[in-house]
């Protein structure tokens, strides 16, 4: 649906067209209709999702359509924000989108002289954007009248709580009429935020949007649950099933790097290590071999692989989960360069599940699971050349002991 098709004032559509906003973003698509209807909204949305226009468009529309002459009867919409920067930014959005309407907005924040703010407030405004401290100060001295507020917006509520504004928010509530529309926006949600939100909204429409996916679209990435001691068998299987592909394997430490390289060596697979403990010259040699495809498997630590561009890496394997969530994005971004398609798989053990949850929190959405049934899991281990070797040596041992026993009996 395009903005042209929305039943909002033509004056707003003109501004949206000038801004080159043709279609609503996800959060706008979900929140504009309920806000226009006068419903309370509880939205989990990060900066960058278009959340400012998601509330500015319907609020400006409702105020503009009322055709009230003069605005001496008081502020109609109050936007509470945590910082001065955000206050200025939101004010600009209201100014730009409301440019051709009769809606007037203004912003107040602390740390600057209050006289010019008071003078502007006295002229009358429809929308006030403010940080809680300065607003409470001006309201308690009668410079801001909040008894005509119809719409209350709390933006970045989580940030406001972090900055310790909870008491100011509660105090300001006492100045506001009981009956009003409340729109609550937060980038994250936890028990404290939920408590605050539910104490402010009434039968709210709940909306959640994910931030823009930080992992490129051409990368297919998934997680499979593999126990720590079994990971080498799964890597072996992957390498054998994709013998012509370049595979970049990430591990946590240089010791792990060498250990995995040895494990691959035991099953007859050539792999090279790349870590910070190596001489520059050796690192360069290894990288060249991998680049040319003379070595297909490279086992690397995060730091050593940062910033290097290796073309045509078909697979990235997160053999260990990264300790820093953003490294997940850096690692999987090593495949699928440019227009190529890439695949990334993460081996997650039971003890790494917490790290996985953190990464998914960072990405704003779950990573696909590659479910493996028990048979498939145990077959991967059974078919390993390493376990065959073990099995052979077990058989040998068994045969040897049988021989010994037979010899003893003969005696
Ligand atoms: P916000 O999340 O409100 O900080 O907005 C993030 C960015 O998205 C801003 O630069 C906006 O100008 C832009 N934006 C918001 N809505 C739209 C839209 N419908 N189409 C294109 N850009 C948009």
| DSSP one-letter code for 141 | T
pLDDT at 380: 87
pLDDT at 276: 82
Instruction: Identify the residue whose C-alpha is closest to ligand 1 atom 6.
Output: 48
77, 100 contact by CB (below 8 A) = no
pLDDT at 295: 95
Shortest CA distance to 312 belongs to which of 291, 283, 282?
Answer: 291
Q: How far is the CA of 2 from the centre of ligand 1 (A)?
A: 15
Q: How far is the CA of 290 from the centre of ligand 1 (A)?
A: 42
pLDDT at 159: 84
Question: Ligand 1: residues within 6 Å at CB?
Answer: 21, 24-25, 28, 47-53
Instruction: Identify the residue whose C-alpha is closest to ligand 1 atom 12.
Output: 50
pLDDT at 91: 96
Half-sphere exposure of 160 (CA within 13 A, CB side): 29
Residues contacting residue 87 through CB under 8 Å, at least 6 positions apart: 81, 107, 108, 109, 129, 130, 131
Rounded Cα–Cα distance for residues 306 and 330 (Å): 8
CATH numbers and ranges of domains, the chain: 3-208 (3.40.50.300), 219-387 (3.40.50.300)
Strands (E), 201-354: 205-208, 219-225, 247-250, 271-274, 297-300, 315-318, 342-348
Mutate which of 12, 53, 186 to test ligand 1's pocket (most atoms within 8 Å of Cβ)? 53
pLDDT at 363: 86
pLDDT at 163: 82
pLDDT at 410: 64
The length of the chain is: 411
Residue by residue, DSSP assigns 47-90 as TTSSHHHHHHHHHHHHHHHT--S--TT---EEEE-S-HHHHHHH
Walk across the sheet containing 77-80 and list its strands.
Answer: 105-108, 127-130, 77-80, 151-154, 181-186, 41-44, 205-208
Q: Which two tokens stand for residue 227?
A: 């126990």
| Mean pLDDT for all residues in the chain | 88
pLDDT at 344: 94
> Helix, strand, coil proportions of the chain in percent (round to 5)?
50, 15, 35
* This prediction's pTM: 0.58
Atom of ligand 1 nearest to the CA of 47: 2
Rounded Cα–Cα distance for residues 201 and 205 (Å): 9
Rounded Cα–Cα distance for residues 30 and 54 (Å): 9
pLDDT at 50: 86
Q: How far is the CA of 91 from the centre of ligand 1 (A)?
A: 14
Instruction: Identify the residue whose C-alpha is closest to ligand 1 atom 18.
Output: 21
CA 158, 162, 168 angle in degrees (round to 5)?
Answer: 90
Rounded Cα–Cα distance for residues 276 and 355 (Å): 23
Rounded Cα–Cα distance for residues 13 and 386 (Å): 67
Tens of pLDDT, residue by residue over 141-175, are 999 999 999 999 999 898 888 888 888 898 899 99
The list of the chain residues with pLDDT below 50 reads none
pLDDT at 49: 77
| DSSP one-letter code for 110 | S
Sign of CA dihedral 351, 357, 362, 363: positive
241, 234 contact by CB (below 8 A) = no
Instruction: Identify the residue whose C-alpha is closest to ligand 1 atom 13.
Output: 50
Q: How far is the CA of 189 from the centre of ligand 1 (A)?
A: 22
pLDDT at 208: 84
359, 321 contact by CB (below 8 A) = yes
CA 73, 115, 55 angle in degrees (round to 5)?
Answer: 50
């Amino acid at each position: 649906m395009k903005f042209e098709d929305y039943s909002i004032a033509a004056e707003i559509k003109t501004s949206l067209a000038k801004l080159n906003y043709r279609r609503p973003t996800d959060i706008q698509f979900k929140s504009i209709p309920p806000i226009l209807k006068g419903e309370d909204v509880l939205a989990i949305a990060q900066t960058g999702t278009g959340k400012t226009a998601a509330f500015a468009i319907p609020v400006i529309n409702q105020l503009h359509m009322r055709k009230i002459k003069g605005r001496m009867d008081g502020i109609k919409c109050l936007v509470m924000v945590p910082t001065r920067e955000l206050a200025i930014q939101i004010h600009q959005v209201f100014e730009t989108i409301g440019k051709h309407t009769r809606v007037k907005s203004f912003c107040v924040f602390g740390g600057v002289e209050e006289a010019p703010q008071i003078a502007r407030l006295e002229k009358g405004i429809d929308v006030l954007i403010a940080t809680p401290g300065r607003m409470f100060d001006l309201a308690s001295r009668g410079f801001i009248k909040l008894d005509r507020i119809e719409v209350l917006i709390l933006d970045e509520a989580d940030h406001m709580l972090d900055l310790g504004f909870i008491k100011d928010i509660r105090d300001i509530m006492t100045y506001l009429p009981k009956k009003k529309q409340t729109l609550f926006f937060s980038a994250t949600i936890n028990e404290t935020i939920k408590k605050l939100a539910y104490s402010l909204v009434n039968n709210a429409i709940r909306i959640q949007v994910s931030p823009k996916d930080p992992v490129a679209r051409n990368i297919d990435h998934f997680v499979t649950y593999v126990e720590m001691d079994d990971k080498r068998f799964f890597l072996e299987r992957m390498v054998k099933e994709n013998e012509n592909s370049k595979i970049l394997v990430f591990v946590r430490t240089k010791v792990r790097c060498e250990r995995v390289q040895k494990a691959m060596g035991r099953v007859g697979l050539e792999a090279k290590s790349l870590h910070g403990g190596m001489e520059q010259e050796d690192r360069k040699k290894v990288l060249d071999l991998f680049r040319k495809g003379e070595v297909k498997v490279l086992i690397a630590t995060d730091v050593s692989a940062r910033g290097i561009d290796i073309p045509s890496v078909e697979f990235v394997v997160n053999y260990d989960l990264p300790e820093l969530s953003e490294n997940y994005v850096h690692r999987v971004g090593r495949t699928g360069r440019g227009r190529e398609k890439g695949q990334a798989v993460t081996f997650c053990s039971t003890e790494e599940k917490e790290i996985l949850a953190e990464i998914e929190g960072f990405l704003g959405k779950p990573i696909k699971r590659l479910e493996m049934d028990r048979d498939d899991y145990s077959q991967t281990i059974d078919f390993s050349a390493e376990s065959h070797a073990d099995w052979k040596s077990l058989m040998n041992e068994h045969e040897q002991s049988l021989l010994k026993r037979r010899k003893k009996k003969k005696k």
